[in-house]
Structure 1
Amino acid sequence: MNNFRHLHAPVDGYVFVVTYGRSGSTLTQNLLNAIPGFVIRGENGNLTQFLGRAIDIVANDDMYRWRREDLAKPREERRPYLRPILGKPFDPWAGAERVDPDAFALGLMDLFVKQVLRPPKHCRVAGFKEIRFHEDPDFFSTHMDILRTLFPKARILFQRRNLEDVARSGWWRDHPREHVLSTLGLANRMFEAYANDHPDSCHIIDYEGLVSDIGHVRALHAFLGEPMDEPAVRAILARSLNH
């Protein structure tokens, strides 16, 4: 832990808001930041996906994995391809066998917390919201796994909104309606599937519930294990709806 002190600094863990644009996620960000000790940042250009891709390559690419696996084996038990070159300076992937995938992954995320999230001293729960997770469906589950396992006490909030309303909002109006409904419909299905597979660490938020039913907000606080300051919540909701 001492080697990754920035990652472990928020003593009560992390919260990530996973959604798409025009879902009302800034309202959720504001509600979370009203909880004492929570510091939930805004979007960051999906940086954890790029870091996650690097983490996944080091952990699972054959050129890394085979070398790690064979390093401890007697020469005669190694893959024929690697027998004459493993550990040699003329190996095209020289040194790959020495890369520790766990230390690499934790080091990247420790740097992300230090330089991007930059939680202040009073922060006990850090995190961010991002609207671009769904743009790479093939990597989505792996990305969620990386967030959930590398960040201590991580919880993921998946936010949805009525897709017809989304399609008429903001920049989505400039896209064909059917494309928006198809793309974001897939996002909702990915959110639901992952949340169903990991109910202890994932929670689904519906924008319509947030703005119409204080019980929906209370359920969010209950999932997080945090008391709800109802006057503060109602003030945030009123401000958001007026805006």
Structure 2
Amino acid sequence: MNAHRHLNAPTDGYVFVVTYGRSGSTLTQSLLNAIPGYVIRGENGNLTQFLGRAIDIVANDDMYRWRREDLPKPREERRPYLRPILGKPFDPWAGAERVDPDAFALGLMDLFVKQVLRPPKHCRVSGFKEIRFHEDPAFFAKHMDILRTLFPKSRILFQRRNLDDVARSGWWRQQPRDMVLGQLGQADKMFAAYAQAHPSSCRMIDYEGLISGLDYIRTMYQFLDEPLDEAAVQSVLAHSLKH
């Protein structure tokens, strides 16, 4: 995937909040939206994972990749399987060699921005929060790579919360406690590992820190290189804590 070919974007890029349910991420969404020019949307059913899987197939599936690689080669240097069929209408994967994976990836995510995120004219930072990233651990790192590569100036906030509190909250309390703690504990480890590997664009945040007040929230704003409006933040906290 060519990191230098980007989709259209607001001037200051994107912020994604990566978390799980009942982590307090709606508070984070509200705190981000209190920054002038930020338009951070809510959940979207993990659409970027489905789009990301399509992008990954076109880029890396052998049936696409082999054909792209062999198309410019002389016939005698192609894979034996492809010599008699590449470029022919009777190839079972006819046309796959002509698919540009970078253009395909950019087209899908550009459509996502235009039709799902729909940033308004005043928006300078777009993005969303999602609670389903961890549900496919095998694809998690690749999904994050796709977001960081395709969305220019992207930052990722990985949000965690005390798991005992999460397990007692919402729908989680209807499920076996050990299963919840195991699943979300794995999520926290994935989040931390990815953030540690990409410190310039990723940061771990804690719900407990956010509700502790301005000092902690200021560190999140500093990571995003944004000033903190104390009155705006206090208004968000007052509303959220009451809710």
Scaled by the length of structure 2, what TM-score is found? 0.97
Distance 1:215 1:158 in 2: 19
Q: Deviations over 1:86-119 (max 9, x none)?
A: 0000000000000000000000000000000000
Whether 1:130 aligns to 2:130 is yes
Question: Following superposition of structure 1 onto structure 2, how do residues 109-148 of structure 1 map, counting pairs within 5 Å?
Answer: 109-148=109-148
Which residue in 2 is equivalent to 1:71? 71
Q: Deviations over 1:25-71 (max 9, x none)?
A: 00000000000000000000000000000000000000000000000
Distance 2:213 2:162 in 1: 16
Provide the secondary structure at the position in 1 that maps to 2:211. Answer: helix
Deviation at 1:231, TM superposition (A): 1.2
**Which amino acid letter does the alignment assign opposite residue 238 of structure 1?**
A
Which residue in 2 is equivalent to 1:86? 86
Deviation at 1:235, TM superposition (A): 1.4
**Which amino acid letter does the alignment assign opposite residue 28 of structure 1?**
T
**Which amino acid letter does the alignment assign opposite residue 127 of structure 1?**
G
Distance 1:29 1:36 in 2: 13
Distance 1:184 1:17 in 2: 16
Distance 1:183 1:49 in 2: 18
Deviation at 1:216, TM superposition (A): 1.3
In structure 1, stretches of 5+ residues that fail to align are none
Distance 1:238 1:170 in 2: 21
Distance 1:9 1:129 in 2: 17
Deviation at 1:205, TM superposition (A): 0.7
Count of equivalent residues:
239
Distance 2:34 2:46 in 1: 24
Which residue in 1 is equivalent to 2:187? 187
Which residue in 2 is equivalent to 1:161? 161
Which residue in 1 is equivalent to 2:44? 44
In structure 2, stretches of 5+ residues that fail to align are none
Which residue in 1 is equivalent to 2:8? 8
Which residue in 2 is equivalent to 1:99? 99
172-181 vs 229-238, which moves further = 229-238
Q: Deviations over 1:92-148 (max 9, x none)?
A: 000000000000000000000000000000000000000000000000000000000
Distance 1:54 1:8 in 2: 20
Deviation at 1:12, TM superposition (A): 0.4
Provide the secondary structure at the position in 2 that maps to 1:8. Answer: coil
Deviation at 1:215, TM superposition (A): 1.5
**Which amino acid letter does the alignment assign opposite residue 125 of structure 1?**
V
Whether 1:25 aligns to 2:62 is no
Distance 1:93 1:36 in 2: 49
**Which amino acid letter does the alignment assign opposite residue 11 of structure 2?**
V
Distance 1:82 1:221 in 2: 54
Deviation at 1:242, TM superposition (A): 1.3
Contact 2:20–2:184 (Cα < 8 Å) also in 1? yes
Q: Deviations over 1:140-171 (max 9, x none)?
A: 00000000000010100000000000000000
Bigger proportion of residues as helix: 1
Which residue in 2 is equivalent to 1:211? 211
Distance 1:84 1:107 in 2: 32
Distance 1:238 1:104 in 2: 44
**Which amino acid letter does the alignment assign opposite residue 135 of structure 2?**
E
Contact 2:67–2:96 (Cα < 8 Å) also in 1? yes
Distance 2:240 2:114 in 1: 31
